[in-house]
Amino acid sequence: MHRLILATFVVFAPLAASAQQHDMNAYNQALASLNAGKLEDAASRFFELASNATDSDVRDRSELYLAQAFARKGMHVSALVTYAQIVKAGPTHPSYLQAVEGLVDVQQKLNEQNLVPNLLDKAYTPEVENQFVKLPREVLARVNYQVATIRQRRGKFEEARALLESVPSDSRIYARARYLLGVVLADPHFPGRPTEAEKLDADALAAFHAALDAKGPQLGHDEVKQLAQLGLGRLHYGRHEYPRSVAAYEAVPRYARFWDQALFENGFARFQGEDFGGALGSLQALHAPQFEGAFQPESWILKATVYYYSCLFDEVKTTLAAYEKLYEPMAKQLEPFADENMELLSAYNLVAAENRRLPGPVYLWIRNNERIQDVMRMIAQVDAEKRMVNEESMWRGTGMAPEMGSSLEEVRGTLMQIGGAFAKSRLLEAAQNLRTFADQAEIIRVQTALDEKDLLLAGVDQKALLKSQSIYRPKMPGAAWNYWKFQGEFWRDEIGYYQYTLKRGCPAKLQGQAQK
């Protein structure tokens, strides 16, 4: 027995050395192909080594270079999958930090908002923090920002705050981090509110201003500045600082991506500041043909409310009739899809495909959302990479084609679940909003009828009251401004600058009641 065992060891020792040498030769050939830009050959060789090499060091390095080959070929989802396998293996993997860096690079190239941030969040445990500090400064900043987005979504506000505050001012992600920090600090659920509200609000305001004033090249700075202005408007609105809120909303550039949202929220800020004509002016712009097809039911309820507070009851009825004409058919059309039991894949397909069943404005409201757009863009990338895998002649007949195809299909399924969850949530939200605003419209309608009755019983001739009043031009903001009376046509260079002047149909006593 002993001799047989010894003989066995003698025979296998040279074989092991031979296998190791074979791995090194194959590794060097793969590396030469990668350096020469022969990416298909390099990927094929590294995949084989990552799967079957007997030398663990060669196997581990081949995983990293396989991901890099995919990335250089423009197959960023395939690279993401491969980097993720290394990161999931943990910090004991010799290429761990390089894989984290690769994930961050892929996230930027894809502008991906779901998969990579969640992978980094799961990886970023207290045990690896001392490893992450070894990352390049900009990479660590982006890791902290991406993880913070997940912590913020999950309500872990203090953790999100610490991560965002760690992003240095010379980072290209600094403006985004400061904007999100403002959102986190202003959140009503942030620990310490309401007793520390003043300090938190001051810090949030400072964060929004820092996002606006960030220096150097910043990722998507124009959009970040728009979001920061919205953040300032909302924070001032919550503090009842309505003139400051209006100023923030009006700083959002006309026809910019978030301008319609700024117009809508500015209407509320002006209304709360008792600038009823300004509120109607914002809504007038929002209801221009340029925003036709927008899903803005609450804007009509606000418009009716403004008229109600001015006791302009005919205008209230006209506005509510316009609301009903637009949104009652939508509510009925949406009913079959506002189902808590709807499968996620069905919900995703409903908004991803060409619309044939949903109300057009609701379809656009969901489909044009950044989160859904991100999922749709990523699925298109997955499908493109699946075609590349299947059509590459060098990869046919190898183990790589079916394995990568399977991995990409798994990613596709995950993305559809994410998109489906969001689409379903938005469908339910749209249906609930329409029910809520229909109820509010009915309340306004009933209250209007009661107030009209009170005027009649009090012997008030409202028509005479209104006739006795004059309409004046609104105050001009400056000498460079001109006044043009609106005559039913929307001119591009006028939209966003509307200002109403209103008569008041309320007798003094009723007017005081309406303001309560």
Q: Would you say 55 and 71 are in contact if contact means Cβ atoms under 8 Å apart?
A: no
pLDDT in tens, 217-270: 999 999 999 999 999 999 999 999 999 999 999 999 999 999 999 999 999 999
Supply 233's token pair. 């408007």
d(CA 406, CA 302): 51
| Crossing angle of the two packed helices 297-309 and 313-334, in degrees rounded to 10 | 160
What does the pLDDT look like over 366-413, one tens digit per residue? 999 899 999 999 999 999 999 999 999 889 888 899 999 999 999 999
Long-range own/partner contacts, residues 429-432 (CB < 8 A, 24 or more apart): 430/295, 430/334, 430/338, 430/362, 430/365, 430/366, 431/331, 431/334, 431/335, 431/337, 431/338, 432/338
Q: How many angstroms separate the CA atoms of 212 and 77, rounded?
A: 33
Do 338 and 427 form a contact (C-beta atoms < 8 A)?
A: yes
* Mean per-residue pLDDT over the chain, rounded: 91
CA-to-CA distance for 255 and 285, rounded, in angstroms? 11
Kind plus residue range of the DSSP H or E element containing 228: helix 221-238
> What pLDDT, on a 0 to 100 scale, did the predictor assign at position 315?
96
Compute the residue count for the chain: 516
In the prediction, which pLDDT does 17 show?
56
- What's the average model confidence in pLDDT over 296-308? 96
CA 326 to chain centre: 27
The pLDDT, as a whole number, for residue 4 is: 38
The CA distance from 416 to 432, in Å, is 24
Residue 113's nearest CA partner among 80, 70, 160, 159 is: 80
Confidence class of residue 436 from pLDDT cuts 50, 70 and 90? very high
Q: What is the mean pLDDT of residues 2-9?
A: 38
pLDDT recorded at residue 6: 37
Which amino acid, 105?
Answer: D
Other C-beta atoms closer than 10 Å to the C-beta of 443 total 11
Compute, in degrees rounded to 10, the torsion defined by CA atoms 453, 459, 463, 467. -140
The whole-angstrom separation of Cα 49 and Cα 25 is: 11
Predicted local distance difference test score (pLDDT) of residue 7: 37
Q: Is the pLDDT of residue 101 over 90?
A: yes
The overall pTM is greater than 0.85: yes
Give residue 88's pLDDT: 95
Is the pLDDT at 16 greater than 80, yes or no?
no
pLDDT at 3 over 90: no
The burial class, CB within 10 Å (0-12 / 13-18 / 19+), for 14 is exposed
